[in-house]
Structure 1
Amino acid sequence: MDVTIFIEKWIWFGTAAVGFAIIFNVPTRTLIPTFLMASIGGVAKLLFLPYTGIVFSTLIGCMVIGLLSIFAAHFKHSPPFIFAIPAVIPMVPGSFAYYTMKGFIKLAYNTNPDDFVPILYDTVTNGSKTLFVLMAITLGVYAPMLLTRKESAKQIKIPLLKKAKK
């Protein structure tokens, strides 16, 4: 892929996340970290997409966002979900869901028995991709927060900060 395409995607992932963050009325101090997390997570998804497929690349991108949201929560004194949820919304598989619903509509009005099996196959394939990508988003965002569940984001001791304060 060309570098300019990555820069363009980087900007669009971040812009979409900031737009959703504004809709969700998050604090203004969280907008820049949300932009950066969505951009980094989106580019991570794009980098792994040719090697792992849509589901695992989305999982990797969302795990990156989940990890970064814990660090951002520590520095900006906000819950991690304030950063993570708007940042992963651009990864929602809208086109797969659209084609799934379009396939259901075609199946409902299908009068030709020869077209039924290919339409059903496409509909089930798109629906499965939608389901698994949504599960990857959920797991990717929640897994890092689940691993650090014992302590709040404010109580997590980051080794780099301990050395800097001494």
Structure 2
Amino acid sequence: MSWTALYASFFATMAFGILFNVPRKSLFTGGLVGMLGWAVFVALTVNLEIDTITATLFAAFSVATVSQILARRYKMPVTVFSIAGIIPLVPGGMAYATIRQFIENNYTEGVRLGSITLLMAGSIAFGLIFSGVITETFSRKRGYPKGNSSGG
């Protein structure tokens, strides 16, 4: 795993945190969340050779779970950490490649790349939702108050 890629994911997450107007005191921690998500994704795809869709699901789940924990610890909405934290996982480059294939009349490749892009986006959404459901389930069993984990 490249340290350069980890640093890039950290700073990209912090930059999007600034764009989304997250509180300054959470920028560094949010950057670490984004870096964690990217590290999980790369570790699964490169080291364990898991497909990108499954790796995206686990990375998004990791980001969301850590975001839930940090939201309770710092008494902030979970979205402060999770929204910026998933930025390194968003398949923007693949979406660009999809559109490019359609423009170049390579429809078969465009459909293939578009399908992968949509599945990756769905994996991100499912990872975030699944983490929220599990966190709420365990919080209720232990008697923890809801707090700011629901985003409000």
TM-score tier (shorter): 0.7 to 0.9
The alignment's C-alpha RMSD in Å is 1.6
Provide the residue aligned with 2:15 in structure 1: 19
**Alignment partner for residue 25 of structure 2, among 29, 32, 36?**
29
Asked if 1:88 is matched to 2:60, the reply is no
**Alignment partner for residue 71 of structure 1, among 69, 72, 80?**
69
- CA contact under 8 A between 1:80 and 1:153: conserved in structure 2? no
Provide the residue aligned with 1:128 in structure 2: 115
If the length of structure 2 is used for normalisation, what is the TM-score? Answer: 0.85
Deviations 1:94-144 (A, max 9, x none): 12111111122122xxxxxxxxxxx22211111011100100111112211
- CA contact under 8 A between 2:64 and 2:82: conserved in structure 1? yes
Structure 1 residue runs of 5 or longer lacking an equivalent are 108-118, 156-166
- CA contact under 8 A between 2:14 and 2:30: conserved in structure 1? yes
Mapping for residues 1-166 of structure 1, pairs under 5 Å: 1=1, 5=2, 7-50=3-46, 51-107=49-105, 119-149=106-136, 151-153=145-147
Q: Could you tell me how far apart the structure 2 residues matched to 1:20 and 1:88 are?
A: 10
Structure 2 residue runs of 5 or longer lacking an equivalent are none
Deviations 1:44-85 (A, max 9, x none): 100001321111111111111011001100111101111001
- CA contact under 8 A between 1:14 and 1:38: conserved in structure 2? yes
What is the letter of the counterpart of residue 23 of structure 1? L
If the length of structure 1 is used for normalisation, what is the TM-score? Answer: 0.78
Comparing 87-96 with 125-134, which one deviates more in the overlay?
87-96
Based on CA coordinates, which of the two structures has the bigger radius of gyration?
A: 1
Provide the residue aligned with 1:111 in structure 2: none
Number of residue pairs aligned between Structure 1 and Structure 2: 140
Fraction of identical pairs, as percent? 26
Q: Could you tell me how far apart the structure 2 residues matched to 1:146 and 1:82 are?
A: 18
Task: Extract structure 1 runs of 4+ deviating beyond 4 A.
Answer: none
Q: Could you tell me how far apart the structure 2 residues matched to 1:22 and 1:95 are?
A: 22
- CA contact under 8 A between 2:78 and 2:148: conserved in structure 1? no
